[in-house]
Amino acid sequence: MSTQHEVQSKRRSNLSDPVEQLRRMFEIRYFEEEIVGLFSEGLVHGTTHTCQGQEALNIGLAATLNPDDFVACTYRSHGFALALGLTPEAALGEIMGRTTGCIGGVGGSMHLSAPELGLLPTFAIVGAGLPIAAGAALAFQTRGENRVAVAVFGDGAANIGAFHEALNLASVWKLPVIFICDNNLYGEYSRIETTTSVVDIAQRAASYSMPSEIIDGMILADVIASLKRAIDRARTGGGPTLIEAKTYRYAGHSRADLATYRPEGELESWLPRDPLLVRQNELIAAGVLTTQEVAAISDQERASIAKVIEYTRNAPFPSPDAIFKNIWTQ
Ligand SMILES: Cc1ncc(C[n+]2csc(CCOP(=O)(O)OP(=O)(O)O)c2C)c(N)n1
Ligand SMILES: [Mg+2]
């Protein structure tokens, strides 16, 4: 029987394989679809934020980083956690508050954490991950380690002071950090043009003398190519990069938000460019997979998520004294 560590490492290293990349995009999509239902059943406490439509970004990031690099993500990070190698059992266990979760069920949906995979505890405070990633990059630079740090954040976070402070110092100190803005057009219930002074967040990199790229965040190959350039720059002393990935948030902001504030037809206009659809069509056109094989992968992933849900429904809750564990005082 493989240990949890071996399973996670394999999930991570497998991501160099295009078929595995597609499989794991299906895994994230079905996982997130089920979370919405589990929330409605009252099985996810607090709140939860899903990432359907942003799977290319999840998989692209995990496929390009080394396991000893660090990633600071937001509350909308089930997909990044799964992509980085966390098992669906450990992710769902945490989201449903069970002892099988990655931190024993005391963190929940917004606080997934797996330092052994480079996943720093995810941040519920908008923009909080950027200075932390810059700090991690400063530590790597100071110790002379060939590691990079990444901050993933939303378009809304680009209006927070921490965004500007982190980009400024990262540029001054040429830190090995990559700032990835996942621009899904909405911050909670507000469309970007009602809150943000620029159309492209990438424009803001110029204020900090930092290279930037705008990429199509729905296209896995584009995400991977852009990240490789930025990671290479960071590892070779070239300092930080701001990447703006244009994506779309298929679901509402959180919980049972039906996103009725969106213009009619907007979601539908994005669906023909769905990242899973684009990727599967590319692999079929290249002769890597047949239509039937894609359907089989999709079915297997649905079935496997159903099993994980069954397993987690029966998993134990932590005992109340768990809240007194892992607490330090000086
Ligand atoms: C400092 C701070 N201000 C406000 C909030 C409330 N809040 C939670 S999510 C969110 C929207 C952020 O939007 P964006 O950065 O675009 O990320 P997305 O949710 O689209 O992934 C806001 C305002 C918060 N959590 N932290
Ligand atoms: Mg957003």
- Pairwise CA distance, residues 13 & 258, whole Å: 36
Q: What is the mean pLDDT of residues 205-230?
A: 98
CA dist., res. 22 & res. 277, Å (int): 10
Task: Please say if the pLDDT value at position 223 is more than 80.
Answer: yes
Read off the tokens for 98. Answer: 């069970």
Judge whether 86 and 76 are in contact, CB under 8 Å. no
The CA distances from residue 212 to 38, 50, 201, 278, in Å, are 39, 27, 10, 25
Backbone angles phi, psi at 278, to 5 degrees: -60, -45
Rounded to the nearest angstrom, the distance between the alpha carbon of 193 and the centre of ligand 1 is 15
In the chain, how many H helices and how many E strands? Answer: 11, 7
Residues contacting ligand 1 via CB (< 6 Å):
74, 76, 124-126, 153-157, 184, 186-188, 249, 253
pLDDT above 80 (res 273):
yes
The minimum-distance atom of ligand 1 relative to the CA of 183 is: 16
Q: How far apart are CA 4 and CA 71, in angstroms?
A: 20
For residue 74, give the ligand 1 atom closest to its CA: 21
Q: Calculate how far, in angstroms, residue 327's C-alpha sits from the geometric centre of ligand 2.
A: 33
CA contacts within 13 A on the Cβ side of 220: 30
Average pLDDT of the chain?
97
Residue 323: what pLDDT? 85
Residue-wise pLDDT for 72-122, tens only, equals 999 999 999 999 999 999 999 999 999 999 999 999 999 999 999 999 999
The count of other CB atoms within 10 Å of the CB of residue 238 is: 14
Report the pLDDT averaged over residues 40-63: 97
Distance (Å, rounded) from C-alpha 248 to C-alpha 31?
Answer: 18
114 closest CA partner among 155, 84, 76, 145: 84
The residue whose CA has the least distance to atom 20 of ligand 1 is: 187
Q: Is the pLDDT of residue 326 over 90?
A: no
CB 239 within 8 A of CB 233: yes
Task: Using pLDDT thresholds of 50, 70 and 90, give the confidence band for residue 180.
Answer: very high
Distance CA 147, CA 128 (A): 21
Work out which ligand 1 atom sits closest to the CA atom of 155: 16
What pLDDT was estimated at residue 194?
97
Architecture of domain 4-252+265-324: 3-Layer(aba) Sandwich (3.40)
Question: To 10 degrees, what angle do helices 55-64 and 220-235 make?
Answer: 40
Pocket probe mutation, ligand 1, options 58, 188, 262, max atoms within 8 Å of Cβ: 188
Looking from the CA of residue 158, the nearest atom of ligand 1 is: 15
CA distances 158 to 126, 128, 148, 285, Å, are: 9, 11, 21, 38
Using only C-alpha atoms, the chain has a radius of gyration, in whole angstroms, of: 19
Q: Which residues contact 212 (CB under 8 A, 6 or more apart)?
A: 202, 203, 205, 206, 241, 242, 243, 244
Checking if the pLDDT of 39 tops 90, the result is yes
> Which residue, among 165, 305, 179, has the nearest Cα to 241 in the 3D structure?
179
Q: Which of 116-125, 233-242, 254-263 has the lowest mean pLDDT?
A: 254-263
What's the whole-number mean pLDDT along residues 220-237? 98
Using pLDDT thresholds of 50, 70 and 90, give the confidence band for residue 48.
Answer: very high
Runs of H (alpha helix) within 173-290: 220-235, 266-270, 275-285
Contact call for residues 62 and 281 (beta carbons, < 8 A): no
Rounded CA-CA distance 73/205 in Å is 20
The tokens of 90 are what?
């450990």
Residue 1: pLDDT over 80: no
Q: Which ligand is nearest to the CA of 74?
A: 1
Dihedrals φ, ψ of 114, to 5°? -155, 80
pLDDT of residue 328: 86
